[in-house]
Amino acid sequence: RAKSNGRNALQQFTPELGRRADERLALSRRMRAALSNGEFRLDYQPQVDLQSNRVTGVEALLRWTDSELGPVSPATFIPIAEENGLIVPIGEWVMQQACFQAQVWQASLPGLRMSVNLSPRQFARGDFLRVVQRALARARLSPRLLELEITEGALMSVGALDVLRALRAMDIDIAIDDFGTGYSSLSYIRNFHAERLKLDMSFVSGIGRHREDEVITRAILSLGRALGFQVVAEGVETDTQLSFLRRHGCRVVQGYRFARPMPAADAHAFISQFNEGALAHS
């Protein structure tokens, strides 16, 4: 059936993919094969520091293009990989690949930070710290250049604070991803030992359109400032959003307004050019 309908017909179903049990099973099988065949890639999305007007970091984002299904969104396949446990070996691959790339970039982009997303399942494992240490050692990357992005939900789990403390002792930065959408109480974030809060895109996209989103954005920016977190705004697409964030003291922005997630070579070219421009204007 799939063959006679062809690739385009299948692609139409991609947004819906993974809803049904048989589709999830099929995706699980293909994901397992993709991992052993080396079909995963990483894209890198620049993060712009508004104080220096330079790209100071990138977020590694996982990409998978299946030979028959075409590109499958992480929003579809990561939840399935979390469920079936494949996120653990996939996440190890991501960590290693991102560390290698970060080290390669140090020669021409010194100090560029690499942010890697973690799933709660990786974070909860007993060998997690060893996995991170091994990736750093193999890549000969300084832990100072690695940042791990963890959601509030994962941080609320038992033992999370000990792992955070250990990461901090290793000199690895922590960013709290999708901040504002989880269940953590504001007083609890004091314990997180994180460097950054990533203001969720859902608030950023309401800037200029919904007063409530602007109020929440301002509140998170001032909370971040008061408690000593840098705030990174995610999903910044427009000049309106950018100037609002700048005006209210946001330190770092990430979004299509500056750059989409890109393959390594394109990201390198973008960052080199962007930062040269910043120097020329300073």
71's tokens: 């590109």
At closest approach, how far in Å is the CB of 146 from ligand C2E?
13
Cα torsion at 221, 149, 264, 278 (round to 10°)? 20
Q: ∠ CA 165-220-172 to the nearest 5 degrees?
A: 25
Residue environment code for 181-201, b if the CB has 16+ CB neighbours within 10 A, otherwise e: eeebeeeebeebbbbbbbbbb
For residue 58, state whether it binds ligand C2E (rule: CB under 6 A): no
Site for ligand C2E in 170-229 (CB under 6 A): 177-178, 201
- Interhelix angle 239-247/211-227, rounded to 10 degrees, is 40
Interface residue with ligand C2E, options 56, 76, 117, 217 (CB under 6 A): 117
Per-residue contact string for residues 138-177; x = within reach of ligand C2E by CB under 6 A = -----------x---------------------------x
For residue 266, state whether it binds ligand C2E (rule: CB under 6 A): no
- Segment near Mg ion (CB under 5 A), from 73-81, 184-192, 196-204, 206-214? 196-204
* DSSP 8-state secondary structure symbol assigned to residue 262: B
- Tell me the chain's radius of gyration from C-alpha atoms: 19
For residue 239, state whether it binds ligand C2E (rule: CB under 6 A): no
Interface residue with Mg ion, options 174, 178, 180, 248 (CB under 5 A): 178
At closest approach, how far in Å is the CB of 178 from ligand C2E?
5
Closest Cα to residue 250, out of 228, 233, 226? 233
Site for ligand C2E in 65-94 (CB under 6 A): 73-75, 78, 87, 91, 94
Cα torsion at 249, 251, 257, 258 (round to 10°)? 150
For residue 177, state whether it binds Mg ion (rule: CB under 5 A): yes
Contacts of 258 by beta carbon, 8 Å cutoff, 6+ apart: 46, 48, 236, 274
Q: Provide the binding-site residues for Mg ion, judged by CB under 5 A.
A: 117, 149, 177-178, 198, 234
Q: Provide the binding-site residues for ligand C2E, judged by CB under 6 A.
A: 45, 61-62, 73-75, 78, 87, 91, 94, 117-119, 149, 177-178, 201, 234-237, 254-256, 261
